Structure 1
């Protein structure tokens, strides 16, 4: 087993508000990490982190060996909340174990919460709640999570929810979850009905409620929301969750960008639109719709604006992916090879220690 990493220092926003720096050294920190959202079988972290903990340990070591300095984990609300006011203490204890693991290995954690990725696992009681009561459950979730994470320097940030959206004007929705992708529901509504309110009013109230919940337990670590940059689909669209009236309590900007072949300018424009004077992290990115070379051009061309990138790691090493003679594994092998090769350029020094 590799030796334990030197102790991490907390990452904070620089004095000019533009970048990340180490709290102790004041040196700039660039995030180069992976989403650990599921394993190669599609299982979510909570599906195996109790009975197969050694797999999680092995995966974190493998992620570190790729050259990453951060991991984004996705916590499911149904695994952490067993009732409107009842927190699953076993899950909280296991999260504490995960935090200690990341500390030992030397990986920062992006804690993304409130997932409902497997629709069948979402508690029936949760979906029947009113908007107000659903938000209160979400606040209780974040109080519990922040309470166990508050004292650890390994926490990079709390991401309130993956890709939250709102209903259209004068349209009442009936499902909290949006479309399915690869058997999972990554996009979630925070309201079913604007009920005469503006989108900014609803988004602002939601952000304020959840940031208040986190700050009641943790006043130091950064908070963000990973969003879809709709400007790539609707030219002229402006940031909602990072609007001045909405995102004042968010410490940095997080967007999810998948460049498309022949449309590099569109992806770079999205980065430009979300360059709002705060640090900017491309919290999800991969050559899903473009080749490796085009993706590398995107990374290089966006580095003057971006302060971090998160790709993906799904529980198999580069060697294991290469040995599995399938198209999916071949694509993943090429990605992992790129990530590992690029790592020294992205984080050339141990600047986060």
Structure 2
């Protein structure tokens, strides 16, 4: 795989620290990020490392093909990244509602060490249920209260494993959580699929006349407490869909202005559409109005050209202070060999944009 990474890693006390790495914190003015020791500004610029070129999730190959992971981290670093977003699956880390898998935690510890060696920071996004076939049946069967307890146990184990490492940029509680908006209970914990993957999850199946924002805040608070029992230092956020703003129509229930106090910064996923950058910028401004630093945690030229995405990145800088795209295990040089599919051509254009923006001074 080929990705770029940002670089600031904390690791366990038994590991020698790279001199260049410092923990990352919110800057004093509250508008961005800074290195904790030197005070120098830090701009997240990197990749989602969510699957490989064959669609496999990291846990599918990180045991048997560790050399691939090492190569991909080196490639992401060489592309100019300083942050890599990792997606951790519930089924890979929990063998029972209250029992983490020691082998998975050991492999995560190995990954954190690799990130530190490459001087990359990790955005650890948890509680993934991306492949339905990998979700434990017992997890599906839990009610809301017990499910939240298991999710807290997951984060407690992750934080205890990673608390001592400067390589952790943040803990992202869940990718694109949603509180149901209707009176009728949801039949499933998962939202609609995208291909064979499920990126959206409900944190409750039955709203039961409760305020949606209060449900979201209670859920965040429980998971934050589980993390803070072991880690008082690293930043915490949650990855929000763009329709999280408290506006008429479709909404996730995670209105940023109502949950901001529970988080260190806001993470939003934005995919601008061709000719509609102004709409995406308006949405971004809505997230920035919550008064916390904002990172665009997912972006890609899906509905626009790479050039238009580049314009959006430039125009978003007054509201955003970090940008994370995607890397799926192939370098630009590999994409340029032979005929390209439409998807490969899009990815190549994205990687070339990533490198050009990095050279233009975005990132650090």
TM-score interval, normalised by the smaller of the two chains? over 0.9
Equivalent in the alignment of 2:210? 197
The 3 A distance-change label for structure 1 pair 324 and 184 is farther
Native 8 Å contact 2:21 2:119 kept in 1: yes
Q: Does 34-43 or 178-187 show the bigger shift? A: 178-187
Task: Point out where structure 1 has 5 or more consecutive residues left out of the alignment.
Answer: none
Native 8 Å contact 1:223 1:251 kept in 2: yes
Instruction: String of CA shifts for 1:64-118, please: whole Å, max 9, x gaps.
Output: 0000011000000010001111111100000000000000001000000000000
Which of 38, 61, 64 is the equivalent residue of 2:74?
A: 61
Which of 17, 21, 26 is the equivalent residue of 1:13?
A: 26
Provide the C-alpha distance between the structure 2 equivalents of 1:238 and 1:178, rounded to a whole number of angstroms: 13
Deviation of the 1:247 alpha carbon: 3.4
Equivalent in the alignment of 1:131? 144
Deviation of the 1:232 alpha carbon: 8.5
2:261 partner SS = coil
TM-score for both structures, normalised by structure 2? 0.91
Q: Does 21-30 or 97-106 show the bigger shift? A: 21-30
Native 8 Å contact 1:178 1:189 kept in 2: yes
Deviation of the 1:200 alpha carbon: 1.3
Runs of 4+ in structure 1 over 4 Å off = 231-240, 242-245
Which of 35, 38, 45 is the equivalent residue of 1:22?
A: 35
The 3 A distance-change label for structure 1 pair 257 and 232 is farther
Which of 292, 296, 299 is the equivalent residue of 2:306?
A: 292
Native 8 Å contact 1:5 1:105 kept in 2: no
Native 8 Å contact 2:182 2:207 kept in 1: yes
Provide the C-alpha distance between the structure 2 equivalents of 1:240 and 1:79, rounded to a whole number of angstroms: 28
Native 8 Å contact 1:222 1:251 kept in 2: yes
Equivalent in the alignment of 1:188? 201
CA RMSD between the two structures? 1.9
1:311 partner SS = strand
Provide the C-alpha distance between the structure 1 equivalents of 2:181 and 2:319, rounded to a whole number of angstroms: 31
Instruction: String of CA shifts for 1:215-274, please: whole Å, max 9, x gaps.
Output: 011011000001011169966878853545433220000000000011111100011000
Provide the C-alpha distance between the structure 2 equivalents of 1:68 and 1:274, rounded to a whole number of angstroms: 24
Equivalent in the alignment of 1:313? 327
Q: Does 323-332 or 312-321 show the bigger shift? A: 323-332
Q: Does 286-295 or 55-64 show the bigger shift? A: 286-295
Equivalent in the alignment of 2:109? 96
2:328 partner SS = coil
Native 8 Å contact 1:32 1:346 kept in 2: no
Equivalent in the alignment of 2:356? 341
2:311 partner SS = helix
Instruction: String of CA shifts for 1:14-39, please: whole Å, max 9, x gaps.
Output: 12211101111212111101000000
Deviation of the 1:348 alpha carbon: 6.4
Provide the C-alpha distance between the structure 2 equivalents of 1:181 and 1:85, rounded to a whole number of angstroms: 30
